[in-house]
């Protein structure tokens, strides 16, 4: 029943912490009575209430917002909350100044520099990502094919495990390759993240019929988990396809 908001804010010119504090108080006043909900359940529960907690994150530009890299975050809570907990400080990166609670992200500049130096061109990221996707999706289809044969009694579980013995190392290699890609530019970040989610779901295929973990699940549980992963795979695949149309 706690109404919590997070606000992402772009600072368009250099500001002192005192100035950021004044802005955060202005934003708090505007946001406190906002009516924004993720779903109908939260809307029914919280509609008409003032916010109990408001976090305000400050970045320098849209790229900071997209990458979730912030200079600092201020926290405001109302009297119904445990202020001793929410306003705790370490007098270093977390402190109170002029009545405003701050948390400074000391790694902000280094992360901003790292992002700039390791962000690749749109065309290069798309090319390298699609190359990996072509391989890993092909492997996923093989896993699904063999799993269906196992489900239909064409293969025994031991037969299916033997098939997975060969496919798992190849899938793992694709996963490692995807993790070594350079950072995508902001304009294709959603597509790139969707591709990462798809590859992650395919990696899940390797967990359920893997000899390393076979004793951790019952046959029924293995089958159920694989069926759920396959459903998620097709959802992820469709999301990638839809976002790819916008590239």
- Report the distance separating Cα 236 and Cα 197, nearest Å: 7
pLDDT attached to residue 67: 92
Query: How sure is the predictor about 199, in pLDDT bands with cuts at 50, 70 and 90?
Result: very high
Closest to 177 measured CA to CA, from 193, 198, 199, 192: 199
CATH of 120-244, one of 3.10.100, 2.60.40, 1.20.120, 2.10.25: 1.20.120
- 74-90 pLDDT, tens digit per residue, is 999 999 999 999 999 99
Q: Which residues touch 49 (CB under 8 Å, ≥6 apart)?
A: 3
State the residue for tokens 């699904």: 144
pLDDT at residue 1 is higher than 90: no
Average pLDDT over residues 151-175: 97
pLDDT attached to residue 247: 87
pLDDT at residue 230 is higher than 90: yes
pLDDT at residue 73 is higher than 90: yes
Closest to 137 measured CA to CA, from 95, 114, 162, 167: 167
Beta strand 53-59 with 4-10 is parallel
* Partners of 76 in beta bridges: 54
What is the helix (H) or strand (E) element at residue 53, kind and residue range?
strand 53-59
Query: How sure is the predictor about 91, in pLDDT bands with cuts at 50, 70 and 90?
Result: confident
Phi, psi for residue 179 in degrees, rounded to 5: -75, -15
Write down the domain spans for the chain.
Answer: 4-114, 120-244
- 21-53 pLDDT, tens digit per residue, is 999 999 999 999 999 998 999 999 999 999 999
pLDDT at residue 220 is higher than 90: yes
User: What pTM did the predictor assign?
Assistant: 0.79
What is the helix (H) or strand (E) element at residue 74, kind and residue range?
strand 72-77
The token pair at 114 is 């790292």
Mean per-residue pLDDT over the chain, rounded = 96
Is residue 226 exposed (0-12), middle (13-18) or buried (19+ Cβ within 10 Å)? buried
Query: How sure is the predictor about 182, in pLDDT bands with cuts at 50, 70 and 90?
Result: very high
Helix, strand or coil, per DSSP, at residue 80: coil
pLDDT attached to residue 155: 97
- 96-143 pLDDT, tens digit per residue, is 999 999 999 999 999 999 999 999 999 999 999 999 999 999 999 999
């Amino acid at each position: 029943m706690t109404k919590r908001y997070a606000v992402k804010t772009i600072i368009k010119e250099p500001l002192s912490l005192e100035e950021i504090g004044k802005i955060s108080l202005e934003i708090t006043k505007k946001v406190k009575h906002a009516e924004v909900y993720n779903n109908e359940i939260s809307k029914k529960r919280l509609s008409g209430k003032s916010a109990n907690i408001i976090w305000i994150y400050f970045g320098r530009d849209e790229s900071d917002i997209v990458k979730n890299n912030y200079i600092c975050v201020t926290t405001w809570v109302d009297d119904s909350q445990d202020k001793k907990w929410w306003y705790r400080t370490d007098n270093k990166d977390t402190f109170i100044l002029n009545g405003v609670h701050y948390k400074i992200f000391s790694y902000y500049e280094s992360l901003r520099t790292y992002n700039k130096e390791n962000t690749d061109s749109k065309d290069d990221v798309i090319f390298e990502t699609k190359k990996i996707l072509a391989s890993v999706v092909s492997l996923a289809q093989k896993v699904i094919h063999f799993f269906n044969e196992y489900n239909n009694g064409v293969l025994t579980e031991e037969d299916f495990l033997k098939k997975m013995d060969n496919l798992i190392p190849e899938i793992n290699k694709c996963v490692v390759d995807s993790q070594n890609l350079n950072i995508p530019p902001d304009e294709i970040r959603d597509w790139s993240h969707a591709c990462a989610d798809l590859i992650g779901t395919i990696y899940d295929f390797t967990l359920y019929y893997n000899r390393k973990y076979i004793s951790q699940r019952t046959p029924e549980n293995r089958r159920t988990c694989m069926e759920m992963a396959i459903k998620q795979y097709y959802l992820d695949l469709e999301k990638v396809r839809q976002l790819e149309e916008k590239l």
